[in-house]
Amino acid sequence: MFDRPSLVTRIAIGKALGFLVGLAGFLSFPYFMADVGWLVRFGILFWYTTLGAIIGLAGVVTWHPVLHLPLPWWARSTILGAWMNFVLTFFAYDFMEAVLINIFGFGSPLASPWWFVAEGAVVGLAIGWAATRFGGEGRETVDT
């Protein structure tokens, strides 16, 4: 099944793993913050599913287009995961701060919403590894 590099396989694996991470957030959010709404829970589910799809799709690019440097899977997926969670944190800073203060308490070093950037890097790395391992990478994923 996984003997040929395939972009579709990369995207499917990325979306599946992203969905699992998002589902974990969807199901566990009420335990951390009881009054969280359905929109936030579904937003987290869809966010990580989309993140997985983007990381899967980015597997075609193995060279930086401007700097002409190699862009290995571990750098590409980690940067994408961190960047996407940075954007999420940037736009939803107040809400994420409230969630982390609710979990860790006010004044805790772990109460900073910027920890979501590191979490995105780790999730991106895991998705990138699986997508590359089972779906291949580079131009050969789109060649027929």
pLDDT at 144: 53
pLDDT at 1 over 60: no
pLDDT in tens, 33-49: 888 889 989 999 999 99
Say whether pLDDT at 112 is over 60.
yes
Residue 137: name the closest of 57, 52, 49 by CA: 57
In angstroms, rounded to a whole number, what is the distance separating the alpha carbons of residues 137 and 128? 10
pLDDT at 139 over 80: no
Give the DSSP letter of residue 3: S
CA-based Rg of the chain, rounded to a whole angstrom? Answer: 17
Q: CA 120, CA 106: separation in Å to the nearest integer?
A: 23
- Cα 87 to Cα 31, 47, 107, 142: the distances in Å are 25, 11, 24, 29
Does 104 score more than 60 pLDDT? yes
For the stretch 54-103, pLDDT in tens is 999 998 888 877 888 888 999 999 999 999 999 999 999 998 888 888 88
CB 48 within 8 Å of CB 21? yes
What is the model's pTM? 0.88
